[in-house]
Amino acid sequence: MAFTRVGYGQVEPNQLSAQKTGQIYASLPLDADVKVLQNGEFMYYSYADGMVTADPANADAAGELMLVFNEIKLYEPFWRRSYKDFAMIRVGDNYVTSDLAVNGPVEGQYGGGSTTTGATINPAHTEYPYRMDGIAPRLFKTNVGDIFTTNMVKQLADPAVYAVGEILVPVLNTAADGTKTFVLEKAGASPTGMQWVVAKVYTMPDGQDGLKIQRIA
């Protein structure tokens, strides 16, 4: 059976050490070239560049790739409140959390409500000592031994399915809109760097194809 994904990427945390160590980062804005950021992708939290990006000016100074795991907040009607419906979707200088917000009754408005296109910080609000201009995603530092279940891996057609014991590595992926992120896919013959092993060919809570994976390098 082919490995497919409906909607956006999902993460089910089974054992993520960042939840105990505090290695959770969410203070840098997202690269303006990233239009959609999904849970389960990987990005650099690059302080040298001052942003979350998949394309740092100096990869050696960007540190290790980190797991995108944003808090899921959905405000659509009840039939669109599943994990698969959530992503960070850029609209101007702001973001929305569902494609319904972009493709609603009025293009570029949140369900036909408040406009988000070209949103800017109001300089009159001097009572706020710090306001970020842009989108701030939440990234988790992963460590060897960490385990999570996800469907945010490269989609495959028959007969090239995933199997227990296979090694996955993050590979740079460029979407049709130009968004660059790292997505896990099968490793080559001699993988290096961050590696994840498929521990179980599984399902996500909504019944979609999923993989339970553990970091081994």
Q: Are 146 and 215 in contact (CB under 8 A)?
A: yes
Q: What angle do CA 69, 38, 209 make, to 5 degrees?
A: 95
Q: Which two tokens stand for residue 189?
A: 């013959």
Three state DSSP letters for 160-209: CCCCCCCEEEEEEEECCCCCEEEEEEECCCCCCCCCEEEEEEEECCCCCE
| DSSP type of residue 109 | B
Torsion of CA 177, 204, 137, 51, to 10 degrees: -60
Note the pLDDT of residue 108.
40
pLDDT by residue, tens only, the chain of 217 residues:
578 888 899 999 999 999 999 999 999 999 989 989 999 999 999 999 999 999 999 988 999 999 999 998 876 655 556 788 888 888 766 677 766 655 554 444 444 333 444 444 444 545 544 445 678 999 999 999 999 999 999 988 766 689 999 999 999 999 988 899 999 999 988 899 999 999 999 999 999 999 999 999 9
- So where are the chain's domains? 11-215
Global pTM? Answer: 0.85
